[in-house]
Amino acid sequence: MTIMEPRKHGDASDGTVGGRQTRFEGNLKVTGGATYALEYPLEDLAYAILVQSTIPAGRVISVDAEKALAAPGVLMVLTPDDDMGLLVASDWGGNRPDNQPYYPLPRQVQYNGQSIAAVVAESREQAVEAARLICITYEKAPHVASFNDTAAGEGKVMDNLTAGWGDAEAALAAAPVQIEGEYSTPREYHVAMEPHGLTVKWDGDQITVWEPSQWSHGMARSYSEWFGIPYENVRLISPFIGGGFGSKGAALAHGAVAAFASRKLGRPVKLALTRPQNFTNYGGRAATRQRIKIGATEDGILQAIVHRGASETSTYADWPEQTGAATPILYRIENFSSQHRVVPVNAVTPGALRGPGKNPSAFGIESAMEELAYKLGMDPLELRLKNYADHDYQSGKPWSTRRLREALTEGAEAFGWSRRSHEPRSMRDGKTLIGWGIGCGTFPVLQAPSEAMIRILRNGRVEVVSGAIDMGQGTYTILAQTVAEVFGIPADQVEVHLGDSRLPGSAIAGGSMLAGSILGAVHKAATAARDELIGLALNDEKSPLRDTGANTLTFSGGRVAAPRDQGPSLTLSELMAALGRDEIEILRNTLPEGATAQEQHQAWTSMVKVQGPTMGEYSMHSWCAHFAEVRVDEDFGTVRVSRIVSAFDCGRLYNPRLVESQWRGGIIMGIGQALLEEGLVDQRNGRTVNSNMGDYLVPTNADVPHIEVISVGIPDYGASALGGKGVGEVGIVGVAPAIANAVFHATGKRVRDLPITLEKLI
């Protein structure tokens, strides 16, 4: 599917990796030309709506659908009584139980807002109205609303997340200066503008699914496994995504329901979650709490860190929001101990939300570091630099690249940190207290194999084809830039095809790993295609370049020529015409040579081939330092962020304009996390009562100050083929503690539980 129209660019840096090219698909988006999953106009469409539980725990005894079935336009009602004949699909690790039935509308109720029935009708309005006529009888069971509930208990230790070296307890006890604090973060949600949902259609045993996806291949695999059809029979199409932030990486129950309904009815079906359903149909960031103890010498050298954390999970799966993820690697620390528990509660299983683990972890350790700085009477910047980690004390490995020191010093310089007065409440403007704070962030470099196809067309255009997706990060643009650079052509001579599971395999757009992974494959394929073209141009008897005597060719300014102006120069289309070729097509992947078809399939549809940050010789991470200024009304307790300067080490930037936009987006989300976002749970029935965008607050433009972002990175060729490290998630990590620290500096009040709402300050 071609979705990119040729376009003109004015930027001199167009067509090279590292150029500040504007978003390739930007025009389509702002003019409404980009078609999203719920907008595909299909004939004979039926509409499905989910019915969700209103109790937190128990069993569905019966579903009385008689009235709903009799309502106008209703085609079908699905309930736990319907055996859809589905099988459980593989998890992210590619593990799959044998022949285990899958019930997307289960009888067992594990949380309030769980899908237990669905209504399909001729119109969405009819389906919604009929859904309200469904009468469900439950047998209620006791529930645990949150991990603060006394019935929740201590939860279970996640052994794989326990870390330690040295003797942390002893070193802590011996340390002359000690601090201790408990830090907590509430349930937070993705609230992407585009809700979850899909349009689905069967042709025989072939299924097409239009669904926003951060991973077209992985989600296609789930559909094939649920329905017991070959992977090749599934086509999942996702060219545009209205925000995912981690929530759109897996196929979910509502997808199975819609696909089943469509098959049974023999009609295409559209299912869109309502906004409240987007709060319970998949999990947001789990609530966390963590106790941190730090021991240091009088002059601020860290001696020990002891960390004990916990996060909520569901009653049916363990999802740790790892509060100890950033704790061990931010500072030089010889004695360390960390443990993380999950506490089952009656809530949907939490999921990945921008910067999972690292984000709440940084809130803990970066708040604690400032508490230590104040206990020592030391500038928090100085304390951080003093304890700079020269290598990764957890893995013992050297950093691949780590420019956190530069981030701290250059960020401080740009912010004007040296003009700060240390005492809390020492900066004010009338009734407004002003405070400055620092928060560091980190995110690991993950690597995954990917595949890409390059087609050189007779008309001189070059296509790059991949099943990777673009949810706004800029995949379209950087792929075009990479290919343009290889062929020495303007970026608008490149066509990019993305977001379709039938296209070559790709890493997930998650864990900040897509750009680094897919560009490796694209660069490899483009180079191979260019080599193929060079071979033909030098050897084919029809080629005007054959007689130049050159042994290679140059590609620049849109022309192919022999080096040092020997002989003619041709455009790609002239060369293709001369060669009599309609196209040259090259497929390459970055798996080891000789990977079998089975291994390839596994690579694109599971996480088994993903490489963690310390699996090689080095420890590889992105880094950042945020400097925040807040203004707090001393009477009202209202906090406004008035300035942020953030410096990043993300290695080489493939397109600084788009990277800066991602960083800013992360920072803005961090402002929301620090000041506004909190799922409010009614303890009586486990319901999140602010499950809509009027009540679950995210920052508006008026809440977003001037944000200055600085890149201090250098290319890291250990981290990726083209030298970049992940940029998508690190931006949010460390923002909340920077703001909390600034609030402390402004007011003298240390808020250890997010969000910092006004009642905590008055």
Partner 1 sequence: MRDFSYLRASSAGEARQAALQAGSTLLAGGTTLLDLAKCGVMEPETVIDITHLSGLGGITLDAGGATIGALAKMGAVADHAGIRAAFPAVSESLSLAASAQLRNMATIGGNLLQRTRCSYFREPDVFPACHKRNPGSGCSALGGVTRNHAVLGTSDACIATYPGDLAVALAAFDAVVDLGGRTVSVDDFFLTPGNTPERETALQRGEMITAITIPASAAAKNSTYLKVRDRQSYEFAAASAAVGLEFEADGKTVRDIRVVLGGVATKPWRARNVEQALVGKVLSAETVEAASRLAMEGAVSHGANHYKIELAPRVVARAILKVGGLV
Active centre residues (catalytic): 729
- The C-alpha R_g of the chain, in whole angstroms, comes to 27
690 binds partner 1 (CB under 8 A): yes
Those residues with Cβ within 8 angstroms of residue 329's Cβ, 6 or more apart along the chain or in another chain: 389, 392, 393, 394, 442, 619, 621
Q: Which of these, 349, 222, 231, lies nearest to 280 by C-alpha position?
A: 349
Report in angstroms how near the CB of residue 66 gets to partner 1 at its nearest.
18
714 binds partner 1 (CB under 8 A): no
Are 257 and 89 in contact by the 8 Å Cβ rule? The answer is no
Residues in 632-671 at the binding interface with partner 1, rule: CB under 8 A: 633, 635-638, 640
User: x/- contact string, 599-638, with partner 1 (CB under 8 A)?
Assistant: ----------------------------------x-xxxx
Judged by beta carbon, residue 444 or residue 705, the one nearer partner 1 is 705
Judged by beta carbon, residue 184 or residue 690, the one nearer partner 1 is 690
Residues in 130-159 at the binding interface with partner 1, rule: CB under 8 A: 132
Would you give the distance in Å from CA 198 to the centre of its chain? 20
- Which bin fits 106, alpha (ψ -120 to 50), beta or left (φ > 0)? beta
Report in angstroms how near the CB of residue 690 gets to partner 1 at its nearest.
6
Q: Which of 687, 725, 745, 752 binds partner 1 (CB under 8 A)?
A: 687
What is d(CA 593, CA 603) in angstroms, rounded to the nearest whole number?
14
What is d(CA 408, CA 384) in angstroms, rounded to the nearest whole number?
9
Q: Which of 204, 430, 592, 594 binds partner 1 (CB under 8 A)?
A: 430
Q: 3-class SS at 171?
A: helix
Are 729 and 443 in contact by the 8 Å Cβ rule? The answer is yes
Kind and range of the H or E run holding 673: helix 656-675
User: x/- contact string, 274-313, with partner 1 (CB under 8 A)?
Assistant: --x-------------------------------------
What is d(CA 173, CA 641) in angstroms, rounded to the nearest whole number?
38
Q: Which of 7, 140, 431, 706 binds partner 1 (CB under 8 A)?
A: 431
Judged by beta carbon, residue 13 or residue 685, the one nearer partner 1 is 685
User: x/- contact string, 76-115, with partner 1 (CB under 8 A)?
Assistant: ------------------------------------x---
User: x/- contact string, 691-710, with partner 1 (CB under 8 A)?
Assistant: ---xx-x-xxxxx-------
Report in angstroms how near the CB of residue 387 gets to partner 1 at its nearest.
34
What is d(CA 312, CA 347) in angstroms, rounded to the nearest whole number?
9
What are the beta bridge partners of residue 560? Answer: 555, 570
Segments in 488-582 forming alpha helices (H): 514-539, 572-579
What are the beta bridge partners of residue 442? Answer: 623
Number of residues that bind partner 1 (CB under 8 A): 39
Report in angstroms how near the CB of residue 245 gets to partner 1 at its nearest.
20
Residues in 52-71 at the binding interface with partner 1, rule: CB under 8 A: 54
Kindly indicate which of the ranges 58-66, 199-207, 466-474, 687-695 contains the residues binding partner 1, using the contact rule CB under 8 A. 687-695
Kind and range of the H or E run holding 383: helix 380-386
Are 583 and 456 in contact by the 8 Å Cβ rule? The answer is yes
Report in angstroms how near the CB of residue 692 gets to partner 1 at its nearest.
8
Report in angstroms how near the CB of residue 636 gets to partner 1 at its nearest.
5
Kind and range of the H or E run holding 118: strand 115-121
Distances (CA, A) of 174 to 9, 27, 308, 343: 63, 62, 19, 32
Report in angstroms how near the CB of residue 432 gets to partner 1 at its nearest.
11
The residues binding partner 1 (CB under 8 A) are 54, 72, 112, 125, 128-129, 132, 276, 430-431, 633, 635-638, 640, 675-676, 680-682, 684-685, 687, 689-690, 694-695, 697, 699-703, 755, 757-759, 762
